[in-house]
Amino acid sequence: MRNAIVLRLVMGMVALLGWAGAARAATAPGLDAWLRQAGFGPHQEARFDPEALYQKAKAEGRVTVYSYSSRIVEVAKTFEQRYPGIKVQAFDLDSAEIVTKVLAEQSAKNYAADVVYMKDPATALHALKNPGHLVAYVPGDLVPLLRPEYREPFLIHHLSFDVLVHNSGGEAKAPVSSLWDLTKPEWQGRVQFPDPQVLPEFTEVLTTIVQHSPEMAKEYERVFGKPLQLGPGVPDVGREWIRRILANKVTVAKSTNDVAKAVGRAEPARAPIGFTAMSRLRDKEKDPKLQFDVAYDLQPVAAVTTGVLLAVPAYAPHPAAAKLLIRWLMGDAKGGEGYKPYFVLGDAPTRSDQPLPSGMRAIERRWHADPSYVWANGRAVLDFWLANLK
């Protein structure tokens, strides 16, 4: 519940500071002066010059990063080796904690962070970037290698995949072929779903399914041979799917790890299926008893992707070092030292010239969580989930 508690604190701070922050962003001359001096926004240099940046960053002497991932420690080591004279101060924080900390620092004008590396683009966009507390930065040499949605509203470092997994100890093929199969009687009590109150990324999954209600409606008709009739008070097809899987006694899991174990360690004949992070496939390398795989052929979609973003807090005290660290994190065509800790099974790079990690199968049929849609609708979708939870 720690994430949920912190998230409530974040939303409270957004309510208190949001309108004032928006006003400051629109009127504060200091922000534009800092953007001009630091070279961000409309004042960003068109050409990425790492050596020139290094000279400026070396004069700054340090860079502070708030990271959702503990692997940032590995990145810091390689960065300091490549750019001697610049010390990396890395803080391992949950994404919700990063938002809370940046909001507090911006409100107090105590500017400490230079880079944020976090999940939850929806909250980052509306609680931080739109009020003027966060600045997007995309190194100029990467622009041709990134799709527009990976450059705006933020630089997306890599994609996380949330997928349906099945026990692979019996047959290699998944026992279901459609999201609607999970509502059938034979799967009653045998579907696992991580608690979206604890893991906000699964609120993103539910909300993305709701956003794609037209596709869900077509898929229902394909599976059952007739148009879908919504239940009383259900506003759309996506929420009807949520209502039906909950009515089918879905098991709410505390973590993606719990889902992977429940599916992968069960007897194949009666094993459950469940939603989890695709990165859990790496667990099989550590535990040979785990037998599970992704339902790659699932209709109408096999994965929901969410972006992990990189950005710079407004008035960051070490802007040149921030730019250099962000570029280091994005790696090169072979991965690169900065990207190496994330070049792993289950996470996909956003650079078009980087291959998928070894052993990772491409999923073309996927939906990407839209930060604006999630922000506008996620709370209502979560409330619907809770109201129908048995």
Which residues have C-beta within 8 Å of that of residue 83, sequence separation ≥ 6?
A: 54, 57, 58, 324, 328
pLDDT of residue 351: 97
Which of 364, 380, 367 minimizes the C-alpha distance to 213? Answer: 367
Q: What is the dihedral of CA 303, 342, 40, 151, to 10 degrees?
A: -20
pLDDT of residue 23: 37
Per-residue pLDDT of 2-19, as tens digits, reads 444 344 445 544 444 443
* φ, ψ (nearest 5 deg) of residue 275: -90, 135
DSSP character string of 2-45: HHHHHHHHHHHHHHHHHHHHHHHHHH-HHHHHHHHHHT-GGG--
pLDDT of residue 326: 98
pLDDT of residue 390: 77
Which region among 8-22, 145-159, 334-348 has the lowest average model confidence (pLDDT)?
8-22
Measured between alpha carbons, how far is 315 from 134 in angstroms, rounded to an integer?
Answer: 9
Element (H, E) at 384: helix 371-388
Judge whether 149 and 368 are in contact, CB under 8 Å. Answer: yes
Q: Of residues 30 and 272, which shows the higher confidence score?
A: 272
Q: Which two tokens stand for residue 101?
A: 């900390």
Instruction: Please give the model's pTM, rounded to 2 decimal places.
Output: 0.87
pLDDT of residue 171: 79
Which of 293, 199, 298, 329 minimizes the C-alpha distance to 252? Answer: 199
Which region among 7-11, 141-145, 200-204, 222-226 has the lowest average model confidence (pLDDT)?
7-11
Q: Which residue type, as a one-letter code, is found at position 200?
A: P
Per-residue pLDDT of 65-75, as tens digits, reads 999 999 999 99
pLDDT of residue 30: 86
DSSP character string of 99-130: HHHHHHHHHHT----SEEEES-HHHIIIIIIT
For the chain, domains (ranges, CATH) are 2-158+306-364 (3.40.190.10), 162-304+381-388 (3.40.190.10)
